[in-house]
Amino acid sequence: GFVWIPESVADYRRLKIRPRKLDASPRAGLTHGTVVFANHQSYTDVLYFTASASATFGFVAKDGKVARASLLTALRLACRFEVPSTAAETVDEASAACKRGGLGPLVVFAEAAKTNGNCILSWPAGIGKGFANSGESTACVLEYSKTGAYTPHHTTGTSMFRHTIQMLYQPYHTLSAVWLTADDVAEALKSREQGADTPATIRKVMGRAIPGIVPVATTGVQHADFIKYWSQTQGRKYVKSH
């Protein structure tokens, strides 16, 4: 279990933005339809955002559109290891639906795959085509413990049941959440390099929030293809010639 989950606001000096005018608190200003970009490592991400923000979730497809999901569907989608070709809504459309329906903030797992927390995968190029509502955007970077018999990172093709059982081998796990406020995101966008698009800028500043996490060129689709290959090879037997 997770006994205590510390939450904090990212240090503006790490983000390389101007100091905030007012002190901020984690999850400040979250409302229905607010877009929260987050890294993705386990189905426990879904449990955290449900408990802390009563969120709706957006799982990104290859074309940058999102599949909007409530808790039970999100738990199922968080355990998959393939990236669908398309989904029903753009980020803005999903955000607007959450706002109209009072469905809480929209947490977007923009990497389209899960990682071990050491990097932020490249986001699908199409995600920016349906995302113009940057004025109501925040971000959150989750960091789990990386030591012990088994960590919460769900990066191999094990089932949700098996993953949960293996996590129970460890008496407890740690999780911390570092939040970027809407003002942080707006300031980063204001000072971005010429020609940089909005999603790339948000991803870049997320990579500065916690030491040791770096944006990489690998995409979620490439990662999913590797997991598929890895899963297929686990049951094979190889004969070594002498």
Give the model confidence (pLDDT) of 111-166 as tens digits.
998 888 888 999 998 898 878 765 579 999 999 887 766 777 777 667 778 778 87
Rounded mean pLDDT, 8-20 = 90
- Provide the mean pLDDT of the chain: 84
Q: Given this model, what pLDDT does residue 195 score?
A: 62
Tally Cβ neighbours within 10 Å of residue 166. Answer: 15
Q: Given this model, what pLDDT does residue 95 score?
A: 94
The values of phi and psi at residue 115, to 5°, are: -130, 180
In this structure, are residues 110 and 37 in contact, taking their beta carbons and an 8 Å threshold?
yes
pLDDT tens-digit series, residues 53-79? 999 999 999 999 999 999 999 999 998
In this structure, are residues 102 and 210 in contact, taking their beta carbons and an 8 Å threshold?
no
Q: Given this model, what pLDDT does residue 227 score?
A: 62
Q: How confident is the model at residue 242 (pLDDT cuts 50, 70, 90)?
A: very low
Q: Given this model, what pLDDT does residue 133 score?
A: 62
Q: How confident is the model at residue 2 (pLDDT cuts 50, 70, 90)?
A: low
Q: How confident is the model at residue 240 (pLDDT cuts 50, 70, 90)?
A: very low
For the chain, how many residues are written? Answer: 242
Q: Given this model, what pLDDT does residue 194 score?
A: 63
User: 100 pLDDT exceeds 90?
Assistant: yes
Distance CA 210, CA 15 (A): 9
User: 237 pLDDT exceeds 60?
Assistant: no
| pTM tops 0.85 | yes
Tell me the pairing of strands 119-122 and 214-219: parallel
